[in-house]
Structure 1
Amino acid sequence: MPDAAMPTDPLPDFVVIDVETACARASSICQVGIVGFAGGREIFAYETLLDPRDDFHFFNTQIHGIAAHHVVGQPCFADVHGVIDRHLAGRTTVAHSHFDKGALAAACRVHDRPAIETTWLDSVRVAKRAWPDLPNHKLGGLARYLGITHRHHDALSDARAAGWVVVKAIDHTGLSLADWLAPPRKAAPAPRAARSGPLAGERIVIVGEPRDGALAHRLAALGGRIMTAVGTTTTLLVIAGAADPRTVAIDPQWQKAQASGTARILTEAALLAALD
């Protein structure tokens, strides 16, 4: 696709990139696909074959169907580096796993081009958090589960599918793109349980609030021991009053408590009412 695919209006909320390689060397990019998304919809797509200036291995060609004769006369990575940079630089770039990020960096080094400065988001990590119960989070399986049209190992189709995974995860969880980009919060130590109180002996996991938050301190003051995760000794899971129901529904601790059948599940309001 020609350089005319540059987005104009609106600007993308994020872009997605996928590459295919000719051989085991990550720098041997032979196809690149980029898709831009804004407001939950696709706004542009760019795709091109590339001459990797490297060997084609049979194993790779079996996977994506691209062989040496397909790239005769096609540009090399150095020729399209500027186009890729204008799509990605300064934006949030999604890729399904870290492979594409590494391949892009390797190609920049091999072709003596500057590194592309972008903020990366791994859609595998997004999918694992949004749908933790799926048996795996490979792109093909996710596409089938979410009803996304997908042709595996075609760079443009893979990029488009990974983008829709992020769009659907945002819709499913209520978490914004900024939420997905935020580093995981490192919780402070849980408050120490009081020696006595109406919750003495309870081992409590809280959903919807950090284990060092106001609710944790209140329950610990009543004798409850605040735990990090649901386990065989957990007796109570408490859903914080401010918890978003959509977030609770995908929280792995809530799901573990439901599956175990050994821990009671109560809302904050129900628990505090029972203690009055």
Structure 2
Amino acid sequence: MTINETLFTAIDFESAGTAPGKTDAPVQVGTCSWSPNTGITDTWISYIHTEQDITWSAQKVHGITRQDLRHAPKLMMLWPKIKKRLKNHAVVAHGHGTEKRFLNAFPGHGFGPWIDTLQLTRAAWPELPSHSLGDLCISLQLEEKVNALVPKKTWHDALYDAVASVVLLEKIIADFSLEQAPLSCLESPDTRAWHALRP
């Protein structure tokens, strides 16, 4: 399958943060579907109820409080909505470790292939001083576009970060003329091959 035939869905989780003796838990999820031919076709966001306390350091990053989660559904209740958006799509995340870990709550879900925009940008622009999602969007002048697509939101909101991931993916595909390339070239980027593609 080529890239321009693929429907991508970016997913981002915000978390309660790690505390001694406890595993981390998701408190918000956002998704954004996109394809080279149709652009953004679906955005979705939800808080996620957890019994775990939100650490001070995590709350300082994303601003989510216990009050925000009071009437939120538990993660398992969101399974139909998550499955609808990720099944048969290429799944995009910026540093996909957290997203894969939280989706392990649904054994055997079979989501993928996974496209990691952190790996891709390291291959595409190794000279940039930072490959964090926010710094990349600022360096590549993408922040204004993300703001227009997700007004009244900002970094470390799950929907904002998911939209930023697909805007970043769109930039990579356009700059390296990858529309007709096989999807596999995004799954495991070869640094040498990507340097050869640079204009």
TM-score, scaled relative to structure 2? 0.79
Q: Deviations over 1:92-149 (max 9, x none)?
A: 10000022222222xx1xxxx4343121111101111221211121001111122223
Task: Please show how residues 100-179 of structure 1 align to structure 2 within 5 Å.
Answer: 100-105=99-104, 108=105, 113-118=106-111, 119-149=113-143, 150=146, 151-175=154-178, 176=181, 178-179=183-184
| 8 A contact 1:50–1:77 mirrored in 2 | yes
2:71 alignment partner, one of 70, 73, 76: 73
| 8 A contact 1:174–1:246 mirrored in 2 | no
Structure 1 window deviating more from structure 2 (170-179 vs 76-85): it is 170-179
Please tell me the residue identity of whatever aligns with 1:81.
W
Shift of 1:12: 6.3
Pair 69,132 (structure 1): closer, same or farther in 2 beyond 3 Å: same
1:247 equivalent in alignment to 2:197: yes
Query: 2:149 — aligned with what?
Result: none
- Larger relative contact order, structure 1 or 2 (CA cutoff 8 Å, min sep 6): 2
| Cα distance in 2 for residues equivalent to 1:86 and 1:36 | 11
1:15 equivalent in alignment to 2:9: yes
Task: Please show how residues 1-276 of structure 1 align to structure 2 within 5 Å.
Answer: 13-24=7-18, 27-39=24-36, 41-97=39-95, 98-105=97-104, 108=105, 113-118=106-111, 119-149=113-143, 150=146, 151-175=154-178, 176=181, 178-183=183-188, 247-249=197-199
| Cα distance in 2 for residues equivalent to 1:182 and 1:122 | 7
| Cα distance in 2 for residues equivalent to 1:46 and 1:95 | 15
Q: Provide the identity percentage.
A: 25
| 8 A contact 1:26–1:103 mirrored in 2 | no
CA RMSD of aligned residues (A): 2.5
Pair 177,166 (structure 1): closer, same or farther in 2 beyond 3 Å: farther
| Cα distance in 2 for residues equivalent to 1:184 and 1:156 | 26
3-state SS of paired residue (1:68) = coil
| 8 A contact 2:123–2:189 mirrored in 1 | no
Which consecutive unaligned segments of at least 5 residues does structure 1 have? Answer: 1-10, 186-206, 209-243, 250-276
| Cα distance in 2 for residues equivalent to 1:26 and 1:147 | 36
Pair 116,57 (structure 1): closer, same or farther in 2 beyond 3 Å: same
| Cα distance in 2 for residues equivalent to 1:35 and 1:130 | 23
Which consecutive unaligned segments of at least 5 residues does structure 2 have? Answer: 147-153
> Alignment length, in residue pairs?
177
| 8 A contact 1:27–1:104 mirrored in 2 | no
Q: Deviations over 1:169-226 (max 9, x none)?
A: 00011124614335467xxxxxxxxxxxxxxxxxxxxx87xxxxxxxxxxxxxxxxxx
Please tell me the residue identity of whatever aligns with 2:26.
I
Shift of 1:245: 9.8
Please tell me the residue identity of whatever aligns with 2:185.
W
Query: 1:5 — aligned with what?
Result: none
Please tell me the residue identity of whatever aligns with 2:123.
R
| 8 A contact 1:12–1:38 mirrored in 2 | yes
3-state SS of paired residue (2:197) = helix
